[in-house]
Structure 1
Amino acid sequence: MDKVVVGIDVSKDWLDVHVAPSGEHFRVGNDHAGVEALIARLSSHGPALVALEATGGYEHVAVAALSAAGLAVVVVNPAQVRAYANALGKHAKTDPIDAAVIAAFVEAAKPDIRPLKDEAARAFGELVTRRRQIVQMMVAEENRERMAASPPARKSIRRVLTALRRELESLDADMDDRIRKSPLWRVRERLLTSVPGVGPAVARTLLAHMPELGSLDRRQIAALAGLAPWTRQSGKWKGRSFIGGGRSNVRSVLFMAALVASRHNAVLKAFRDHLVAAGKPKIVAIVATMRKLLTMLNAIIRDQRPWQNT
């Protein structure tokens, strides 16, 4: 018998479910009652894998409950699922089709099943995300202040900036408290920030959004962050290499860290300068520096040894 794979298309209010290979399709509410009904219904199928798309948080209740019920759950990248659908010629987008495509995608791609974040890690990740949002709002307000001509407008902007800075301090204090209460996070933050160019904001983003750090090899960790280069190629024609997919929030902080490290970290500065001297475009050199920095951090967490200038 073929193994049973379940694809679930997630929206704010509904979970559309497709069971392969039987083709059964049904819908339940995206709430605790609906998820309980889903678990009861799936128990008779004995699925080998249940797959849901990442939808910005709407999947959290279902993922947590399904995992707690002992089902193997994987959260897949929507962009990869859509690319797979396009490759199959399924350009229409409806919830039943999406659920079936998700099931087909995981059957074909066989993604790794990794442990879910616990509640403390999820809460910490939300704080890190909120901090990034506050910083983005501060940058936007600072830009508006530079453009504002009238004193009343500037006064209003400064009031908003004062409130945002106060909120940023509060978030930082909350994260400090959570780090202090977790011996594991405290040790990992100390290890990560031992690398010149890596500050607390970078370390905490990695702690929150890349818990696999130290448990994967360098190719896997680069692919997870979306830093593994891929090339557009057809027959003898070979195009440029690109990066993409993966975890954009991790890439964002690694970009800033690589810029700093390429000035203040002797090893990474020499690495970047060598690439530029060899004729590589500066942005290509920075991306390569990001990848090298990530593999260094991965090794530091794996070996539990702080940075050493060599």
Structure 2
Amino acid sequence: MDLQQMRYVVAVAETRNFTRAAERCSVGQSALSHRIAGLERELGVRLFARSSRRVELTSAGTAFLVGARECLAAAERAAADAASAAGVVRGRLAVGVIVTTAAVDVPELLQRYRAQHPDVRVLLRAGGSDELAAAIRGGELDIAFLGLPDDERPSGVETVVLDRDHHVLVVPAGHRLAGRRRVALQDIASETFVDFTRGSPARAQSDKAFAAAGLVRDVAYEAGVAELITRLIARDLGVALLPSAFIRPLAADDPALVLVPVTDGPRRVEYLAWSRFNPTPATRAMLDVLGVHAHRDAT
């Protein structure tokens, strides 16, 4: 048994197709199939159930996959640690980001990081703050940019506060409130709202603010991305509460959107989060680029 066989098993398990797995591994399909068949003979079990149309893990394959992924991760970490000891940062850096990140220009940061550490393979994943924090705890992500209500903090991860922000009301140009200097939640509770999907941390920030004020609102449109929210508002289909640092640059270039301060609106904190357990050299290198010390702001 060797690491290459494990890589082949993981590739087939993830693609559920020997041809696509071979393409991913840059190897011929017959060679990949031969190595997996040899591994199955060595183990004395079948890892995959095969037919002309389907490939699925057997129960033995499912059990083997867990250990194979752990072995591959350990091998990758060992190689990265050895390179780091020699002054070279290698390996993988998996970064998570919420779609309304505003405290850091993530594309610019990744460009700067790549220029300094070209041997690191950087992966980027967008999602909700709770999902991304869980992925860090589970070892799927190394570092993430999160946004949470100001009365919450990520748990089980190291964090540093990047920014504190407040939400503003976003309305279409020509809306009855577009000319107001400021509004309160009570002034806008009767409006039709566009917001993020129910249950997401981004949605919870506004839900909590209205609940704390004893108000009920109508969220008619739910969206998973901020771009869709602003497009719906521009079409005069509703209004929204969005983080000011995120929406101000977008509204400045879109005359169809008007921002109005909210006196008692939601407030959020943007965090940088990473694993509290033995950060990889690639993670430490990113913290250095950001000017963050790994021991700072443990939660």
TM-score computed with the length of structure 1 as normaliser: 0.25
- Which one has a larger percent strand, Structure 1 or Structure 2? 2
TM-score computed with the length of structure 2 as normaliser: 0.26
Q: Which protein has the larger Cα radius of gyration, Structure 1 or Structure 2?
A: 2
